[in-house]
Amino acid sequence: MDIPLMIASFFATLWLYNKLSRRFGFSEVQIGMFDLAHASFAALLAHLSLRGYAADAVIGVAMYLTYQILDYLAKHDDVLKDIAAFAGVYFTTLTAQVVAFGG
């Protein structure tokens, strides 16, 4: 299994567990200020980038930044934290895949 798919699966599993834990009253996994949606989307775009779908990845990044700008205009929340989480997972995933498997 590729590193990007493993990362996306990990974050998706954490998200699903936290959703189910709220419903059934279990304790949630505490992940601090790291946002699962941003991390999962970054891992997906890294996977597209590594598989030769560069145009799709560029469109995804443009859509993500547009979403962040509109979200900031609507809520005035901390956009830099979200972008940092996204960029951190995106570039870490690319680097890990290239170092581990040569691309």
Model confidence pLDDT, tens digit, residues 65-92: 888 888 888 887 777 777 877 888 888 8
Number of domains in the chain: 1
Q: Is residue 26 part of a domain?
A: no
pTM as predicted:
0.64
Give pLDDT tens digits along the chain (103 positions): 466 767 777 777 777 777 777 776 666 555 554 577 787 788 888 888 888 888 888 888 898 888 888 888 888 777 777 787 788 888 888 888 778 777 5
Domain of residue 52 covers 3-15+33-101
Q: Which amino acid is at 43?
A: A
Report the distance separating Cα 39 and Cα 1, nearest Å: 18
* Residue 69, in any domain of the structure: yes
Structural domain includes residue 75:
yes
Cα 91-84-1 angle, rounded to 5 deg: 35
- Nearest to 37, CA basis, from 102, 91, 85: 85
